Amino acid sequence: MKPQPLFQALADPSRRRILKLLQPGALSAGELSDHFAFSLASLSHHLSILKSADLICAERRGQHIIYSLNTSVTEELYRLIADLLKVTSGEPA
Amino acid sequence: MKPQPLFQALADPSRRRILKLLQPGALSAGELSDHFAFSLASLSHHLSILKSADLICAERRGQHIIYSLNTSVTEELYRLIADLLKVTSGEPA
DNA sequence: TTCATAGTTAGAAGTATATCTAAATATTTA
DNA sequence: TAAATATTTAGATATACTTCTAACTATGAA
């Protein structure tokens, strides 16, 4: 997992809101779009950023593409944050 | 703790590197500056962003201002991430 | 095959961010 | 007080990001 795309992806409030919306279950781009004022094209752009950061998965189901949280990345994200903010106090790594 | 300034602050690789550099202990702006190619003014700008996000503390000591990690924010950050990425699966909050 | 629906991609415009140099502020020393 | 050191602030520039509209691709139905 690369830190930069991950932190970058989380830096936008709309993208964090997308993650929240996906918590109860997978949704299509169209369903997600109902919750935002911007265009479907902009949403699609946000989704591609979240996908590149491995925060979500995409799966085509007929005409729709449904998006779901990639929860496996959560653990790794915890570790990243811990590594970033822990105090080493001179102990060896 | 406001999520937006926090995630925004973490989105820049130089700022994350500053956090790493402060892990073994507090450093002055000048000492931090030795580790970066950009100017001291730019470093100062990054420090002010980290400070606004409550990720670091500043304390004047004579001519120097020394910066240290604000580790108390770590716990809150964990919770934020957990809240963001957990799967609710229809359970009540 | 043609039409309709769902979503992505391309290119442009406006805003925000990172960086620079130069000037300003604060503290210590002479 | 004046000079030196440490850091911040101001204003400018270049790059990156978010968003838009329009055009394109893919799937399903007529």
Domains and CATH numbers, chain B: 3-82 (1.10.10.10)
Query: Residue A67 has what pLDDT?
Result: 98
The pLDDT-based confidence of A9 (bands split at 50, 70, 90) is very high
A42 touches strand D (CB under 7 A): yes
* Listed range (B24-28, B61-65, B79-83) with the worst mean pLDDT: B79-83
Is the per-residue pLDDT at A82 higher than 90?
A: no
Is the per-residue pLDDT at B61 higher than 90?
A: yes
Q: How far is the CA of A28 from the C1' of D27 (A)?
A: 15
For the segment A49-64, the average pLDDT, to the nearest whole number, is 96
Nearest residue of B to residue A70, measured between CA atoms: B85
Contact list in A for residue B25 (CB cut-off 8 A) is: 89-90
Query: Residue B90 has what pLDDT?
Result: 56
The pLDDT-based confidence of B1 (bands split at 50, 70, 90) is confident
Smallest Cα distance from A8 to chain B, Å: 5
Residue of A2, A6, A10, A72 for testing the chain B interface, max B β-carbons within 10 Å: A10
The pLDDT-based confidence of A90 (bands split at 50, 70, 90) is low
Contact list in B for residue A77 (CB cut-off 8 A) is: 81, 85
Is the per-residue pLDDT at B91 higher than 90?
A: no
**Residues contacting A48, CB < 8 A, separation 6+:** none
Percent over 90 (pLDDT), chain A: 73
Query: Residue A93 has what pLDDT?
Result: 43
For the segment A16-38, the average pLDDT, to the nearest whole number, is 97
The pLDDT-based confidence of A50 (bands split at 50, 70, 90) is very high
Q: Give the Cα separation of A83 and A62 in Å (integer).
A: 42
- CA-based end-to-end distance of chain A: 20
Q: Which residue is nearest to nucleotide C19 (CA to C1')?
A: B42
Element containing residue B68 per DSSP (H, E): strand B64-69
Q: Which residue is nearest to nucleotide C9 (CA to C1')?
A: A41
Q: How far is CA A3 from CA A23, A31, A81, B74, in A?
A: 22, 29, 10, 17
